[in-house]
Structure 1
């Protein structure tokens, strides 16, 4: 019976990820990019500037989560073991050309990320910690289909909150065991205790921890990658030539030619940056900002940070070291071999520490995605408590066991989740584009953009935005 289920899930995943999702993500990403007049490129300076903004005021006080904290929550979930092991797998199976397609899908997908995160801000709702929202919320409010929002909530809670967290703890326990000889059960207990201490503190504690872990994690990893790049600077042109030639089948010595390079690069890129998947908008909605577009731009920068920065750092170490030519090495082992060949034996331990930081930050980021969707289904403290216990249990189970069908089911649920989200934003993306036009107009006037219910048409019933001071005059 299990064998039949495994075959069914594997076949379904192949159809979803190799055909349906790739087409939807690329086509809609390009469409949103054109409709937004290439927002992910022309406003990149504004994205970086917005990182420094604190939480906007509500009344006379600042509350909730800042733009930077929301950025860190989503980046904590995006940046995980896939950035280290996933890139290595893509290069092993698809050749160096997979890196080009990974870059391309990030540039295209950033358009979808902008739309979904802006919509999450427009349709967010108030809670005791500030705000919450995401695809389930804008599916209900913008499309009026609550049952579909509930389906989405169930899918993302199981996929990110439970299964993906066990995947992360599994990777951590193996890496720590291989590098330091620590028993996996001991690592599991430590991870579970750390997880409980954070998730029972709610979104503000998740935000605070993410705000600390993510920058340290990312900067440390990029610095080491830069050292490898500088050390092999003279080889950089040949590596770029290798990436581009392999991407278009001009040099298919490694991997399976242009087809394999394209498929692996796109799939690993989508898995890594999550653009259009409907996960990051849950973090985007928590931010207290004066205009929804601010968080749309911040989350777009998150896509670039994940793929163009962290994934590229891994690719650079692997390709510059030549470790990808080594037979038998794949996944995290390939990344460890690549770094160790450049910096010595401590590279193996450094990657293990990075895995711990990357994966643990994903655990707490993934947890929040489930929390906000549990509250969408039913705002009951008992449900939330049960979910927190379930997350903690899955972290422990994941550290000591691995069942392949569970991971395959998670891929299936994530694929279905993405289809629901992409279909939803395809129907009401124009609200995000209208909000962008409003933001741009105010920026040209030298203002710090402020958003109101009457700034754009068709959002009179949203909860968290007021009418402008001169709304009555406009009505008359």
Structure 2
């Protein structure tokens, strides 16, 4: 009964509400911001590289723009980029990859909007910056009720169900590739995650900026090797993507029964799931970046979508199609497991036995970084609805680790359906906020452009400074009271 309910809710969300909502807000913001994907992406990439070379440093409780991007990419690049993408082309045909790229293109404008709003309406709590959709809904829309709803759904979607998806994929993949018992994989993963989470924001940021570039680079390099080994299949693979996007049956094979609607649905849904643009997750990391101006961090956020979808997701698609591993006739009840095996076969076609191990290692690191990133995002929402202290935060860490363990014991396909539902519900209040606050996003971008011309890029962080002023005022009052008592 519960499975049927989850399936029904997902149909409503992903076939209607979110497909139109997420793509719609992406198209709307792309036009309103004058196509920032073409004019802002590569200058931002150049600026970020310069920041890495110059080894930017920030105060405790903040992240450098690159650390914020790494934490965001850590969350974006997970099982969705391998298992989710493979599922999309298995269920929707090769053409699903085309719609995946379309979602990413418009998603860049969406994630820019999320990031600048998160920067503007962030707050300082316990000496650390916090921000995200709940904060710009609360401070921008002045709606505490909707902000609380988002926080609750985000905690469940990322801190519980999302963690279960990641651990489930790791346990199954490692157990299959290396013959290690699932319980051993679960214990090892839980210990590693616990050690990272114990270090707080500083350790999470350091872990992300170290692991993410290596992880993403290794996967892309491995995929390129497979593609070059099957270069004669490259052009037919690209052709099948474009033909399959509008006429799935025309490419033959196992996708004859796939409709255009299915192709678009799976492509857009998995694309949005993998890059998370509009979902309301990644703004939490971009909010705490020490950027001179919100727009600068918005440009950096766009890089995350480019890496996640245009580089990593497309790598997964091409490995499956070019290697000949693609299988369009996997039963729907075994879709998640079948899609993973399909991709393992793609790497095994080039690397032999090591291919399955390589994919398993990549998947493990992808999942590990996503678990850490999603925990950080969920914790920001715990701080929004509860008066936080070490007891509450440690209790939440316990809940996350428990979800990690439970996730390895649940049916893979059902876990993915739960994730689709919980993250879909989480995205709804965020989409509403992005539309209603779009005027402010445009103002922030125009403000940045006017200041670039004058050479004085500076932004007054209203809510962050408000919290700091409150703290200073309390400090002055305490000093005054102490002086009075001494007299």
Report the TM-score when normalising by structure 1.
0.90
Point out where structure 2 has 5 or more consecutive residues left out of the alignment: 331-336, 470-487
Point out where structure 1 has 5 or more consecutive residues left out of the alignment: 454-458, 467-476
Cα offsets for 1:216-252 (capped at 9, x unmatched): 1100000011112222334322222221111111724
Within the candidate set 317, 320, 326, 2:322 is matched to 320
**Where does residue 45 of structure 1 map in the other structure?**
42
**Where does residue 470 of structure 1 map in the other structure?**
none
Structure 1 residues 367 and 461: CA distance shift in structure 2, 3 A:
closer
Higher helix fraction (1 or 2) = 2
Would you say the 8 A contact 1:283–1:369 is kept in 2? yes
Within the candidate set 364, 370, 388, 1:380 is matched to 388
**Where does residue 443 of structure 1 map in the other structure?**
452
Within the candidate set 436, 440, 460, 1:427 is matched to 436
Would you say the 8 A contact 2:14–2:269 is kept in 1? yes
**Where does residue 75 of structure 1 map in the other structure?**
73
Q: Does residue 355 of structure 2 align to residue 353 of structure 1? A: no
Which structure 2 residues correspond to residues 365-404 of structure 1 after superposition, within 5 A?
Answer: 365-381=373-389, 382-402=391-411
Q: d(CA) in 2 for partners of 1:461 and 1:66? A: 16
SS in structure 2 of the partner of residue 330 of structure 1: helix
Would you say the 8 A contact 2:240–2:251 is kept in 1? no
**Where does residue 142 of structure 2 map in the other structure?**
144
The offset of 1:335, in angstroms, is: 0.5
**Where does residue 16 of structure 2 map in the other structure?**
19
SS in structure 2 of the partner of residue 37 of structure 1: coil
The offset of 1:171, in angstroms, is: 1.1
RMSD value, Cα: 2.2
The offset of 1:404, in angstroms, is: 6.5
SS in structure 2 of the partner of residue 143 of structure 1: coil
Q: d(CA) in 2 for partners of 1:124 and 1:460? A: 6
Would you say the 8 A contact 2:132–2:284 is kept in 1? yes
Q: d(CA) in 1 for partners of 2:161 and 2:94? A: 30
**Where does residue 171 of structure 2 map in the other structure?**
173
Within the candidate set 310, 313, 335, 1:311 is matched to 313
Cα offsets for 1:145-164 (capped at 9, x unmatched): 11211111111011101111
The offset of 1:326, in angstroms, is: 7.5
The offset of 1:442, in angstroms, is: 2.4
Q: d(CA) in 1 for partners of 2:39 and 2:460? A: 24
Q: d(CA) in 2 for partners of 1:334 and 1:200? A: 36
Structure 1 residues 187 and 9: CA distance shift in structure 2, 3 A:
same
Report the TM-score when normalising by structure 2.
0.88
Cα offsets for 1:265-303 (capped at 9, x unmatched): 111101111110110111111111111111111111111
Q: d(CA) in 1 for partners of 2:363 and 2:412? A: 20
Q: d(CA) in 2 for partners of 1:15 and 1:110? A: 25
